[in-house]
Amino acid sequence: MHLLYILVIIVAVLTVLSALALVLGSAKTEKARSLWFLVAAIGSAIWGMSISVFLSLKNGEIQQMNAPKLVAGIYSGAIVMDVALLGYISWKYRLGKMLTAAFAVIGIALLTVFLYDPSVLYSSINLVSMGNSIAIDLGQWFYIAYALFFCTITPVFCGFLIYQIRHSRNKKQKKGYLFFLFGLSVAGLLSLIFDIILPPTRYDLIWIGPLTIGLVIIGFYYAILRFKMITLNANWLRVLSYIVIIGSALIVYLLIFHLVFSALFKIANPSFQVVLLNFIMIAIVLLLTPAISEINALTKSWIMTKQMNIAYIVKKITALNRKQIDLREMAGFLAEHMHFSYVGFIVNGKFYGSDDFRMGASEIEEIAKLKVLEKGVWQNVSQISGAKELEISRIGVLTNAKGEVIGQMVFGKPVSKVTLDRQDLTEVEMIVNLMAVVIENGGRKS
């Protein structure tokens, strides 16, 4: 089977999964409306899968027997999808209910006539090596009626979407519907070209319609999650959403790969070995993603000497095993990434410092006697006689949940700034408070 047809089938499956997650994750008041979305996804899946399988058929007796069923699936799925999309978008309005019912009746009438007598659409089914197709009979009324049906219903549900966007008070919801409107407009235009205008002369491009519509539906589900239009409480629903999003990213990657491969090597369909290699490379990249992310954060923390990578530092502190914390090792890490000449902890009369920096007993005792201020974490460094020699720039007091002093955090001079600005001090103070929690809740390993 052609890679593009496989992608259409995968998109169809992901479309149904995303719609299922939307239905199960919606509030009770939105449940009934979300069912329309699920029906639209099922219709889109029938449409896309029928096209993919039909275009992949070989010329054999069994294939000839199944081809009419697949053609029926192509035109039935598309009608079901559009009617259900209109229902999802407009059902909460009285006019929307009326128009949805009207289009549903027209759609059922078209399908009934077509399923009873397929000759109203095509005169023959052609399964040939150059590309499968149907001989659409433009002399009959059905195809024109089918085209008018889609050319009418698409502006109607786009019009209801515009109405919702203009009257929505929720900015996030408005953004989600704007994305849906833009996607449906583009996908509708492509479907008009490749699934309505071109099929009488070129049937091999009808896969473009269901592929783009499917990607728009999945994209709208992502927008629903992104803009918090629903809340997924169950863990399995979150897993389902991860599958949909990662699967969609894979589809986009393979589409880009197919376009680049075809353009470079002038080959319509990559071999199985090439596709398999791509999947292996994707798997390797996914497995390396955590390591790449860690290296990127570490490198960024090293390079950004003018500012602290506070997110990386907090991530490392919160990941500590608090029962086996090594304060000397932690002091070295903080000195390196907070960009101080050294960092040290004074806990229970002992000093745990970074690198080879040492502090005498008299200095430790002098620092321990510093007055604790009623507000803030900083103590008065000027009261220490050897502050200049020790290059002490700041001393923060470590307190437990009861406000009792459990230690102090000593900072050397900044290595990239003469003085710390307000943002720097806020970030350093955050680290002091976080380390107080770590030391209070855990033990020490010196």
pLDDT in tens, 261-273: 777 766 666 766 7
Whole-number pLDDT of residue 28: 78
Mean pLDDT is lowest, of 340-349, 371-380, 400-409, for 371-380
Map tokens 């490198």 to a residue: 299
The average pLDDT across 106-111 equals 95
**Residue % of the chain over a pLDDT of 90:** 26
Q: Which residue has better confidence, 363 or 27?
A: 363
Which pair of structure tokens corresponds to residue 217?
A: 């539906």
**Where residue 234 falls among pLDDT bands split at 50, 70, 90?**
low
**Which one is predicted more confidently, 84 or 404?**
84
How confident is the model at residue 444, as a pLDDT?
45
What pTM was computed for the model? Answer: 0.68
How many percent of the chain have pLDDT more than 70? 88
Lowest mean pLDDT among 93-97, 193-197, 278-282, 324-328: 278-282
- Mean pLDDT is highest, among 45-49, 161-165, 236-240, 282-286, for 45-49
Among residues 397, 390, 343, the alpha carbon closest in space to that of 368 is found at 397
CA distance 334 to 344: 9
Question: Lowest-pLDDT range, 57-71, 237-251, 363-377?
Answer: 237-251
Q: What is d(CA 89, CA 99) in angstroms, rounded to the nearest whole number?
A: 11
CA 302 to chain centre: 29
Concatenate the DSSP letters of all residues of 123-156 into one string: EEEE--TT--EEEE-TTSSHHHHHHHHHHHHHHH
Phi, psi of 125, rounded to the nearest 5 degrees:
-110, 125
**Are the C-beta atoms of 16 and 48 separated by less than 8 Å?**
no
235: pLDDT confidence band, cut at 50, 70 and 90?
low
Report the run of H or E that residue 122 belongs to, with start and end: strand 122-126
pLDDT category at 445 given cuts 50, 70, 90 is very low
Least confident of 66-70, 74-78, 189-193, 403-407: 403-407
Rank 17-31, 37-51, 386-400, 410-424 by mean pLDDT and report only the highest.
Answer: 37-51
Q: How far is CA 388 from CA 335, 379, 383, 394, in A?
A: 18, 15, 11, 11
pLDDT of residue 297: 57
Query: For the purposes of burial, counting CB atoms within 10 Å of the CB of 279, is it exposed (0-12), middle (13-18) or buried (19 or more)?
Result: exposed
| Residue 350, phi then psi, degrees to nearest 5 | -115, 150
> CA dihedral in degrees (177, 178, 182, 184; nearest 10)?
10
Q: Is 40 exposed, middle or buried (0-12, 13-18, 19+ CB in 10 A)?
A: buried
Q: Encoding tokens for residue 225?
A: 């999650």
**Are 229 and 176 contacting, i.e. CB atoms less than 8 angstroms apart?**
yes
Reported in sequence order, the residue ranges of 291-444 that DSSP labels E, i.e. its strands, are 343-347, 350-353, 394-399, 405-411
The band of 226, judged by pLDDT with boundaries at 50, 70 and 90, is: confident
Give residue 46's pLDDT. Answer: 95
Query: Which region among 155-164, 287-296, 298-307, 322-331 has the lowest average model confidence (pLDDT)?
Result: 298-307
Residue 446: pLDDT band (50, 70, 90) is: very low
Tell me the C-alpha distance between 237 and 242, whole Å. 9
Q: What are phi and psi of 71, to 5 degrees?
A: -60, -40
- What is the DSSP-derived secondary structure letter of residue 196? I
Is residue 118 within 8 Å of residue 68, measured between CB atoms?
yes
Choice between 170 and 189, residue whose per-residue pLDDT is larger: 189
pLDDT at 296: 63
- Say what the pLDDT of residue 34 is: 86
Number of helices (H) and strands (E), helices first, in the chain?
A: 13, 6
Which pLDDT score, from 0 to 100, does residue 162 have?
A: 92
Which of 95-109, 253-267, 420-434 has the largest mean confidence?
95-109
Using 50, 70 and 90 to split pLDDT, how confident is the model at 45?
Answer: very high
CA distance 138 to 123: 10
Cβ neighbors of 345 (< 8 A, separation 6 or more) are 327, 330, 331, 351, 352, 353, 398, 407, 408, 409, 410, 435, 439
What's the chain's Rg over C-alpha atoms?
32
Report how far residue 83's alpha carbon sits from residue 194's, in angstroms, rounded to the nearest whole number: 20
Does 44 have pLDDT greater than 90?
yes
Grade residue 340 by pLDDT with cuts at 50, 70 and 90: confident
pLDDT score of 153: 93
* Contact by Cβ (8 Å): 404, 338: no
The DSSP string of 425-442 is HHHHHHHHHHHHHHHHHS
Query: Residue 438 phi/psi, 5° resolution?
Result: -65, -45
Instruction: Tell which wins on pLDDT, 166 or 301.
Output: 166
Between 162 and 383, where is the model more confident? Answer: 162
Q: Tens digit of pLDDT for each residue in 384-400?
A: 877 788 888 888 888 88
